Copies of this chain bind each other. A is one copy, B any other.
Amino acid sequence: MDAADFAVVRRNMLFRDLDEALARDIVGDRSPRAYAKGQVLFLQGDRVDGLHLVVSGWVKLYRATEDGVDTVVAIHGPGQSFGEAAALLGAPAHAGAEAATEARVLTIDAERVRARLTADPDIAFRMLASASMHLRVMVEELERLKSLPATRRIAGFLVELAGDARGAVELEFPYEKTLIAGRLGMTPESFSRGLAKLREHGVGVERERVSIDRIETLRAVARGDLA
């Protein structure tokens, strides 16, 4: 694994403030594996063999409901990990994972982590922190979905993408709009209409390119201060 990849790994909660040597030791000689778009990492109910950490690209987690429709539960990008708890506990995955774009994902051997864990309980704290963060994100998502109108949810998504940028922002959608719509809990049609409505707040969309005149305006929309 090269230095650039390792830098991404270190952005993850689990490894962020971990001792460099220990971090390398845990990763071992594993290298990220490349997945084609649409390729399945594991299915819902599968026993997960290790912790997954996205190095590049995006991976979607989804659950199949009885009637065949699947709902997107989360989408993870570079530096984000998933399936930690399931892997460590040897429990079946409660969601399936599939590459949403071309992606490279590092799989870290659960057994190896477990071994290091008994040696250094601090690792356990990090894993808890990681799980806790997932929980927080989930809760926020839930809160958003509970009542916010589509336009606000979309504005929120764009704001998240923009990070802490100021003023005019140019960015591009990381994956298909259909998928974004699913993640935001709406149909592609509603997503499209919502984006159209955001035009009056200085948002321009052309294919996957998005230009935002003033990100602050959008933040206001996301907060609900602006219609």
Contacts and interface: CB of A to CB of B under 8 A. Distances in A.
Interface string A124-152: 11011101101110110111011100000
Contacts of A142: 73, 138, 141-142, 145
A128 B88 contact: yes
A67 B148 CA distance: 12
A66 B224 contact: yes
Interface in A190-227: 223-224
Given A117-B121, A118-B121, A139-B138, A91 B132 contact: yes
Contact of A132 (B65, B66, B85, B118): B85
Interface of A: 63, 65-67, 69, 71, 73, 84-86, 88-89, 91, 94-95, 117-118, 121, 124-125, 127-129, 131-132, 134-136, 138-139, 141-143, 145-147, 185, 223-224
Q: List the 9 closest pairs (A to B, CB-CB), nearest first.
A: A85-B132, A124-B124, A131-B131, A138-B138, A146-B185, A118-B121, A94-B136, A85-B128, A71-B143
14 contacts: A66-B224, A67-B224, A71-B143, A71-B146, A71-B147, A84-B128, A89-B132, A94-B139, A117-B124, A124-B124, A128-B131, A134-B135, A142-B145, A145-B185
